[in-house]
Amino acid sequence: MINRDKIPAELVPILEANLDGETDKYSFPPPVFEAMGGELIEISMEERFLTCRFPVDTSYLNPYGTMQGGMIAAAIDNTIGPLSMLVAKPNFTRHLELKYGKPITPELDYIYVTARFVEQKKRLLYFEAAVANEQGDKLVTAKATHWVFG
């Protein structure tokens, strides 16, 4: 189900077209996006990018007091995933590769994930993403490949 209260109105017809009118079958934004406290910050369909903000919650910390790598990956996947729904028919993450640069500590309060659609080759979609702090310093980079269903 498309939650029209939580997304810009101009995205609704794009989602309806990409989901072949079956908007009751899919969730946008996804429940896990909302569970992680994700927020849509900026989107450009012309430049095919999406930026989301996620809190650095203390429940996401590893024993060293930094954000656990899997939670960082989840934030990235929760940005690339919604973007993938806006640029293609239903698809799923087939491969996600991360390169961790700097630790993410609770002092940051939030991380900003920007995902970019790179290209589509047949049923494969290619994305790049970067995690940054509020000042724009890159902390993590990622590449993803998605597979378009049937």
Distance between start and end Cα atoms, the chain: 21
In a domain, 6, yes or no: no
Q: Is residue 50 in some structural domain?
A: yes
Is 75 in contact with 113 (CB distance < 8 Å)? yes
How high is the pLDDT of residue 23?
A: 86
- The contacts of residue 110 (CB under 8 Å, 6+ apart) are 53, 54, 55, 56, 134
Please indicate, yes or no, if residue 91 is contained in any of the structural domains: yes
Q: With respect to residue 2, please indicate whether it lies within any of the assigned structural domains.
A: no
**Number of independent structural domains in the chain:** 1
pLDDT grade for 63, boundaries at 50, 70 and 90: very high
- Could you tell me whether strands 49-55 and 110-121 are parallel, antiparallel, or unpaired per DSSP bridges? antiparallel
Could you tell me the residue range of the domain that residue 79 belongs to?
11-148
* 28-32, 52-56, 96-100, range with the lowest pLDDT: 28-32
Q: Which amino acid is at 85?
A: M
The CATH number given to whatever domain includes residue 121 is 3.10.129.10
Amino acid at 64: Y
Exposed, middle or buried by CB within 10 Å (0-12, 13-18, 19+), for 129?
Answer: buried
112 pLDDT band (50/70/90 cuts)?
very high
pLDDT band at 21 (very low <50, low <70, confident <90, very high): confident
